[in-house]
Amino acid sequence: MKWFLILWACPVILLTGWYGLSYYDMSFGIFMLTRQAHDLVFAVYGNVLGIPPETIPPLVARAIAFDSLIVFAIIAYRKRRAIAAWYRQRFPAVQSAAAGGTAFAKDSSLSSAP
């Protein structure tokens, strides 16, 4: 699971780091971090895909969000027993009510029986 997270997080961190630095032209003397390289990369991708370059960053952001949801769903599925144990410990009244018990005292004046 650790390698799964590493292999998911590294490209996401590198891409967002490059995008943020190149978008704001914080190059530190490296050409790939300049705004000129940023515009060139998106112009090339736009020409290859046949779409305007301005539409690529939102598409990439949606893809990263969707992939992140899938990754977190896989992690939640694998950790479901630990999550359920934490939930039972955190909210014991909900569990007893779901098991047929009641968390509150019954009031006879509220019952529908005559």
Residue 101 scores a pLDDT above 60: no
- 35-84 tens-digit pLDDT: 999 999 999 999 999 999 999 999 999 999 999 999 999 999 999 999 89
Question: In this prediction, what percent of the chain has a pLDDT beyond 90?
Answer: 66
Residue 110 scores a pLDDT above 80: no
What are the percentages of helix, strand and coil residues in the chain, rounded to 5? 75, 0, 25
Q: Which residue has the higher pLDDT, 79 or 96?
A: 79
Q: Which residue has the higher pLDDT, 112 or 64?
A: 64
Q: What are phi and psi of 103, to 5 degrees?
A: -85, -15
- Cα distance between residue 54 and residue 66, in whole Å: 20
List the one residue out of 65, 75, 80 whose CA is nearest residue 4: 75
Q: Which residue has the tokens 């018990």?
A: 101
Mean pLDDT of all residues belonging to the chain = 86
Write the CB contacts of 46 (distance below 8 Å, at least 6 apart in sequence): 52, 53, 55, 56
- Cα distance between residue 78 and residue 73, in whole Å: 9
Domain boundaries, the chain: 2-98
What does pTM read for this prediction? 0.70
Token couple for 77:
């599925």
- Cα distance between residue 27 and residue 85, in whole Å: 48
- pLDDT, position 93: 75
